[in-house]
Amino acid sequence: MSQNQTDTPEGILLVDKPQGITSHDVVSKLRRVFHIKKIGHAGTLDPMATGLLVMLVGKATKVSQYLMSMDKEYTGTIRLGQTTDSQDADGEVVEERPVPDLTEGTILKEMKAFIGDQYQTPPMFSAKKVKGQPLYKLARKGKTVEREPRVINIAKFELSRFASPELDFLVACSKGTYVRTIAHDLGERLGCGGHLCGLRRTGVGKFRIEKADTIEAIESMSPSALRKRLIPVLQAVPSHAL
């Protein structure tokens, strides 16, 4: 049944993305649920990552740039002693080193050094484009090209648990920050290398994972229940951003 202009759904939907699917897979699922094509998101998550995706339905897609600029919060796990070509668990292990007898105090000291503004070089296995080519396509061919570092900000980097060779963390950072690069760089600072082996996005600006719905829950909702889950754009974005 076709929808007219007045009853086309629009708003922001918070989704808890499961592991193993892409952000575009979530877009495709929501297009089927809402029966409209105009659906986007305010920042992707890698297939390995889980957690908060801010999905934009209907006319809400027009505020994507504003929402993408919001700070992000993540929890995750770093595996020390192994470096991978992608800086996360989806890549191939390229180096193994023994993990030294680390204390929580040593780890906290190195984590503290990440706080504040800094330059970060995007990893080769990323969607960032150089001369029109996504870096990951070049990386899959075994190529490495020069990448321009960009300024990021890390507001918070905390240790949640340490059980060698793994450590759990919480990080709050600006848009465009590669958490797997943080994991890689922390491993280097600790002298043994490391890679990201788990990641969950818990916050995007004022949006929290606790308010998100799973794909399964969304697919089982009635049309009226679905509409009630949509956050009006005016509630989420200041009027000057519209």
Nearest CA to 78 out of 200, 202, 184 is that of 184
* Cβ-contact 98, 88 below 8 angstroms: no
Angle (CA) 34 36 38, round 5°: 120
* Cβ-contact 119, 150 below 8 angstroms: yes
Question: Does 46 participate in catalysis according to the annotation?
Answer: yes
And the tokens for 188?
A: 């280097």
- Give the end-to-end CA distance of the chain in Å, rounded to a whole number: 30
Which SS3 state, helix, strand or coil, does residue 66 take?
helix
Alpha-helical runs (H) found in 143-206: 179-189
DSSP for residue 124: S
DSSP for residue 211: G
In sequence order, the β-bridge partners of residue 82 are 96
Distance between CA 50 and CA 99 in Å, rounded?
A: 27
And the tokens for 230?
A: 């949509």
Q: Which of the residues 7, 16, 25, 46 is marked catalytic?
A: 46
Distance between CA 5 and CA 65 in Å, rounded?
A: 24
Active site positions, annotated: 46
